[in-house]
Structure 1
């Protein structure tokens, strides 16, 4: 009797499924499209599913991309002993990808990535910031507002404040005036965010510095913080707006390319000019891996000042795998294209011990 071939199942929430659900829930179509755009990695990775299948086959695995709404039904027919689940898209509010690792846990499947508790935590920036502060990490303190009312008043800040949605892609500021100099304007921004997206806002002291993305893919289960890729992401602007984000990814990104409006930010290794900051970021990542059990695949967004001061902005358990920065990381760190990096990671997880608690 031959054994069943190991299988990688990649669970993802498509943009259109999210858009249709949000519109049915009463969101304006334009706003629903903006919200759903955060799932653009599903759109961007779909053309490479054949390449992923080939890379998996070369390593003795079969491959199946599964839309989130079909995941429960399809997982019910799989063998937990030979099936690995990798969740591509996260979410517990506007997006629902956080259901996938919970389903995998319920069915006894091995998974790539963090456990389901971190899928929920990283999507709520106010709560995750509180946890990061409790771990002694340099995350800016925050206030929280809903539709023009303070739920938690923000700290005093001589440099002004930065206002961002709490449960969306919250490192971005939505509008160019998201950095503001008075708290009255911060409350006005909270009204605008609530009217457009039904979300609270996090209001943090503005922190200066260059934007940094730290990317991690553990090609083997033994890989640690030494495999972290740490790069300045220089786009020419202080922070990313919704319009900036729409021009980079998914169908809107393709339209921006066709119109000549697409420009990838420049990636420059932090260690080349600020080795002390690079060391500090690796220490932060090590603390996150130990204190929060981040593992396998994740990213961290930070700000680094000229004097090597590091500010931790957020962590993500589902980094944008097909995005320019993660592809660049796979090439520089592992010498692999994205499909081979994903397949190699999956193959190594299938042959190693199950490290879940």
Structure 2
């Protein structure tokens, strides 16, 4: 009997499918549109599925891009010994991609990335912050607001507070006034977020510093934190709003590229300016890998102050692969395009 090639399955949730599900659940069209914008990586990567397939074929692999709604049937029939599942889009509330690694485990299939429990944890900022704090990592202590009422009050802060949705992406629902002076002002923002998105808000003491993204892809299965890409992300603002995010990705970002108005933030290696902070971040990543089991692919968002104080804001087990920063990381660290890096990562797992 002929034996098929090893196959990489890339499971993704399209914006369209999410939008239709949210409308069916009673969300307003504008809110559903804004929520779905966080799935723009599926939109952005789709034109490159052929390139990923070609890169996989060059390494003796088959490649299948699988929409999330088809994943249960496809993975149920996949060959346990010759299949590898990579989840592109996560989510446990508005997005449903967190089901993909669980489906892979149900069917005895190997995966790229962390186990399915972490897909749920990292999507709940309040709970993940509590776990990260228990691991001794420098995470701002958070309060939690549902609607206009405190569930947990934040600590006193002389620097003011930052407010963001709890289960949506860190940018969705973030407006220009999301940095506030008094904790009580979070109640009004909490009502706005709950009315639009049905989400709680996390209220954290505002931390100063520059925005940093740390990206990790173990093209080599034995790679450690030495391959972590750690960069300042210079967008010209203190924090990225929902409007900023939508201008970079998906259909809006594509339109901006067509018009010539697209502007990517500048990436500057942290080690070139603050090597002590870069070493601290590597230590944090090692702690996450040992304490939580992060592996294969993940990212961290941080703030770094001028005196090398580092604040860990959040981690993601499903980083935006087609985003400008991750593409730059693949080029700089691995000397590969995104498609080549994905294919090589999968091929070495089969080896």
Q: Same fold (TM over 0.5)?
A: yes
**Separation of aligned partners in 2, 1:329 and 1:284:** 19
Where do residues 1-357 of structure 1 align in structure 2 (5 Å cutoff)?
A: 1-170=1-170, 174-351=174-351
**Separation of aligned partners in 2, 1:171 and 1:287:** 26
**Separation of aligned partners in 1, 2:172 and 2:213:** 13
**Separation of aligned partners in 2, 1:287 and 1:37:** 31
Matched position secondary structure for 1:320: coil
**Separation of aligned partners in 1, 2:207 and 2:223:** 32
**Separation of aligned partners in 2, 1:172 and 1:268:** 25
Matched position secondary structure for 1:167: coil
Structure 1 window deviating more from structure 2 (175-184 vs 123-132): it is 175-184
**Separation of aligned partners in 2, 1:6 and 1:217:** 21
Q: Is residue 90–residue 96 contact of structure 1 (8 Å, CA) maintained in 2?
A: yes
Q: Is residue 86–residue 111 contact of structure 1 (8 Å, CA) maintained in 2?
A: yes
Matched position secondary structure for 1:64: strand
The 3 A distance-change label for structure 1 pair 308 and 173 is farther
Matched position secondary structure for 1:219: coil
**Separation of aligned partners in 1, 2:28 and 2:100:** 27
**Separation of aligned partners in 2, 1:204 and 1:325:** 26
Matched position secondary structure for 1:295: coil
Structure 1 window deviating more from structure 2 (180-189 vs 315-324): it is 180-189
**Separation of aligned partners in 1, 2:289 and 2:171:** 21
Offset, 1:350: 1.4
Q: Is residue 247–residue 261 contact of structure 1 (8 Å, CA) maintained in 2?
A: no
Q: Is residue 213–residue 231 contact of structure 1 (8 Å, CA) maintained in 2?
A: yes
Q: Is residue 149–residue 187 contact of structure 1 (8 Å, CA) maintained in 2?
A: yes
RMSD: 1.0
Which 4+ residue blocks in structure 1 deviate beyond 3 angstroms? 258-261
**Separation of aligned partners in 2, 1:73 and 1:274:** 49
**Separation of aligned partners in 2, 1:274 and 1:94:** 38
Offset, 1:252: 1.4
**Separation of aligned partners in 1, 2:13 and 2:66:** 9
Offset, 1:172: 6.2
Cα deviation digits, residues 104-133 of structure 1 (max 9, x gap): 000000100000000000000000000000
Matched position secondary structure for 1:247: helix
Equivalenced residue count is: 351
TM-score by length of 1: 0.97
TM-score by length of 2: 0.98
Q: Is residue 171–residue 242 contact of structure 2 (8 Å, CA) maintained in 1?
A: no
Q: Is residue 276–residue 308 contact of structure 1 (8 Å, CA) maintained in 2?
A: yes
Runs (5+) with no aligned partner, structure 1: 352-357
Runs (5+) with no aligned partner, structure 2: none
The 3 A distance-change label for structure 1 pair 173 and 282 is farther
Q: Is residue 173–residue 240 contact of structure 1 (8 Å, CA) maintained in 2?
A: no
**Separation of aligned partners in 2, 1:269 and 1:96:** 34
Matched position secondary structure for 2:268: strand
Matched position secondary structure for 1:216: strand
**Separation of aligned partners in 1, 2:256 and 2:188:** 30
Offset, 1:259: 4.1
